[in-house]
Amino acid sequence: MEGSQERGLGTRSDGAGSGLGHRSPSLFLQLPSNQTLRFRGNKAEAWGAALEGAGELPEDPLDQVPPAVVAEEEEDRQPLREMPLCLEDKRRLRLLEEQAASRLSGWQLWRAGKRRTLRQLRSQASTVMSHAMMWKSTLRHIEGHFGTGIQAYFSFLRFLVLMNFVASLLVVGFVVAPNAAFEALHLNWTSRTSNTSVNVSCLRYDPTSHGLTSYFSYIMDLLSGKGFMELTYLFYGYYPNSAVDFASFSYNVPLAYLLTAFFYLLFCLIWIVHRSVYCLKHSLVSEDVSLGSYSNKVFAGWDFGLMQPSAVQLKHKSICYELRMDLEEEALRRHLAERTTKQRAVLYILRGLLNVLVLGLLGAGFFCIYLATEYSQWLLGSVNSPIKGQTILELLAAYLPSIVITVANLLLPMIFGVIVQLEKYPLSFEIKITLLRNVFLRLASLVVLLISLWSQITCDGDPQHSDCKDCGYSHLFLCWETSVGQEMYKLLIFDLLIMLLVMLFVEFPRKMLVTYLPSRPLLKLWGEQEFVVPANVLDLVYGQTLCWTGALFCPLLPVLNTLKYIVVFYLKKLTLYANCRPAERTFRASSSNFFFLLVLLLGLTISCVPALYSMFVLSPSKACGPFRGEPTMWNTISNAISELPPTTQEFLGFVGSLAFAVPLFLLLSILMFYLVALAGTYSSMVKGLKGQLQLEGQDKLFLVKQISELSQ
């Protein structure tokens, strides 16, 4: 074995051009990576076999590589124009490809041509998609001037715009547009159920305004979602409980409504999980310190295809931000390593006390939201309400939960920002812990609002209560789905208004005062504001969670959310360039991208709970909506299955039975264990490859040392 290795590794030339000579085999035997040849796979063995017994390298470059290796690498090699090689090497590889292709069979030629065509099509499609990407130049400009952390926020916002836009096409295409077309064409509507056995008091739902209506009332209805807004396709209550028969075509409106809402949530889940996996891979690679972050940025980070001076400057600034980030993280790691045991103990005790304070503040905020929701619904639904007939006060009462939630979401994050500075976390973890606390605040406040509405709609879950005995739900909410949709609609509108007001009356005046009165001590201490990424990401997650929660009760909410996020993008871009300065402390965007999606996935999980509970458990309103007269919304699926052919019914019944679920569960468990074992194998391979990379680095040091000794 030692002799074969000596022959295989001792035949490399150290000349250039035609001046080829022999290199001593003992030099290669001394390399630290020499003993790892047998671990490099079949291709390394083929190379070793090709080099074995060769006295010196041939003059013809086509004979340097064995044909078996060329044929094997031809299938999965990247395009030649994408390789980091000079033109001379690319010409030599092109000749090598032509030589290898002449020795392939017809079947191998056809396979290689097919793969080459598919690779070209993918390359062209990716080029078209990159040119059609929204706000590409804006994101590049933001990355150059403010770093990848701020750019990660705007990339996340663009992702939400695209996801909501595709979801809007789904909702409009299968729910809104068909109903509008059927109503405009005056087609035959067939009612699915009757309400003959329902108590008459449960059918007294009439949102139509009677008598003269002022222009001011229309504005109030537009902001609150009541009045004429309830008679539009925006809310659940306007959709009919009917099917449309047109020739041999039948369109079941309740079935389309329910399946669209279900697949809307499923589509968002799949897209978020897919993007999370991609961002997680990128995060694991970019944050691995064993891959030589500094050398990658210094020697391989530049894009030599940049032509415009502005693009060159932006890329230069981006690399500077990355290097600054690495240096800050290294300095922080050294500082943490220098702490004594006493300092660590004091810091942990301080963090524990501050977390108790955070929990107390969160509990107080949730209690205020619950009280505000209860009081608001009492003012609006009580017969003896003191604000009856007073439009302005009724509007304020309707927005009281939104106002309390917004005040809590404005004040508590400021307090959390002061607290997290005392805890002395690294900046990346500081952003994550701040985001987690604020997410818990916002999403939990939304949960408190939903629980309060549920307790009033279902009479605290007691169907025998006097208010719920006749209808199965409170008679104060004759169309409770529309009431829930109105709450989500008001929160969405109020969130956008607050964002606009803060920018106009807080951020712009602060910028002007700091710019034109810089000598004032208080203003100098206040300083120019920074673009706070956690708070802005939280606004996006909160708004998207509102959209998911209200999509079942307000079908056009994804459309409104798409328009809202487009407006938010330009507003945030304006305030970033006009009011903000680059952050003094940078953070890594790779881990933040994945963490943003993880928080978004948490919001989707929370929003699915009320939607699924409404589908399977709660009784639909008997006076409005596409499911009136049904015991549950999901009963529409059962009725649709009962109309299918018997064979299809038996198949679907088998799919929903334990005879299918138990083997499927076992199969998925086996697949999960296989994937876990495969992941462990890949992890071991990665560790081995990292060890080989370290050996390659030692080889370079050894060769440099040998060269320096020989040159003396």
Query: What value does the mean pLDDT of the chain take?
Result: 76
Q: Is 645 left (phi over 0), alpha (psi -120 to 50) or beta?
A: beta
**pLDDT above 90: residue 557:** yes
- The pLDDT tens digits of the residues spanning 176-220 come to 988 888 888 777 677 665 555 667 777 777 777 665 666 777 787
CA 252 – CA 267 distance, rounded (Å): 22
Pairing outcome for strands 249-252 and 529-530: unpaired
**Rounded to 5, what percent of the chain is helix, strand, coil?**
75, 5, 25
Average pLDDT over residues 379-394: 68
Higher pLDDT, 357 or 58: 357
CA torsion 90-92-95-96 (nearest 10°) is: -100
CA 370 – CA 404 distance, rounded (Å): 10
Higher pLDDT, 325 or 505: 505
At 18, the pLDDT band (50, 70, 90 cuts) reads: very low
* DSSP letter (8 states) at residue 465: S
At 568, the pLDDT band (50, 70, 90 cuts) reads: very high
Q: Which residues pair with 19 in a beta bridge?
A: 16
CA 594 – CA 601 distance, rounded (Å): 10
| The pLDDT value given to residue 3 | 42
Could you give the percent of the chain with pLDDT greater than 90?
10
Residue 618's closest CA among 383, 437, 395, 459?
A: 459
Residues 6 or more apart whose Cβ sits within 8 Å of residue 140: 311, 314
Sign of CA dihedral 575, 576, 578, 579: positive
> Which of 422-431, 496-505, 557-566 is the least confident region?
422-431
| The pLDDT value given to residue 406 | 78
Pairing outcome for strands 242-246 and 249-252: antiparallel
Higher pLDDT, 9 or 653: 653
- The pLDDT tens digits of the residues spanning 601-615 come to 888 998 898 888 888
* DSSP letter (8 states) at residue 86: -
CA 437 – CA 122 distance, rounded (Å): 42
Q: Is 616 exposed, middle or buried (0-12, 13-18, 19+ CB in 10 A)?
A: exposed
| The pLDDT value given to residue 501 | 87
Question: Could you give the strand order of the β-sheet that contains 242-246, starting from the edge strand earlier in sequence?
Answer: 188-191, 242-246, 249-252
Distance of CA 501 to the CA centre of its chain: 27
CA distances from 406 to 157, 365, 607, 669 (A): 21, 11, 19, 44
**pLDDT above 50: residue 696:** yes
Q: Residue length, the chain?
A: 712
| The pLDDT value given to residue 548 | 93
| The pLDDT value given to residue 69 | 41
Average pLDDT over residues 90-102: 75
The 10 Å Cβ neighbour count of residue 203 is 16
> Which of 431-440, 490-499, 572-581 is the least confident region?
431-440
CA 361 – CA 480 distance, rounded (Å): 32
DSSP-derived secondary structure for 180-195: HHHHHHTPEEEES---
| The pLDDT value given to residue 158 | 92
Q: What are the backbone dihedrals phi and psi of residue 14, each rounded to the nearest 5 degrees, phi first? A: -115, 20
Average pLDDT over residues 359-383: 79
| The pLDDT value given to residue 167 | 92
CA 105 – CA 677 distance, rounded (Å): 38
Average pLDDT over residues 366-382: 77
- The pLDDT tens digits of the residues spanning 37-77 come to 544 444 444 444 444 444 344 444 444 444 444 444 444 45
Q: Which residues pair with 581 in a beta bridge?
A: 530
Dmax over CA atoms of the chain, in Å, equals: 105
Higher pLDDT, 292 or 389: 389
| The pLDDT value given to residue 523 | 59
Q: CA angle 505-508-514, nearest 5°? A: 120
| The pLDDT value given to residue 418 | 83
| The pLDDT value given to residue 259 | 92
> Which of 100-109, 233-242, 363-372 is the least confident region?
100-109
| The pLDDT value given to residue 423 | 80
Higher pLDDT, 45 or 627: 627
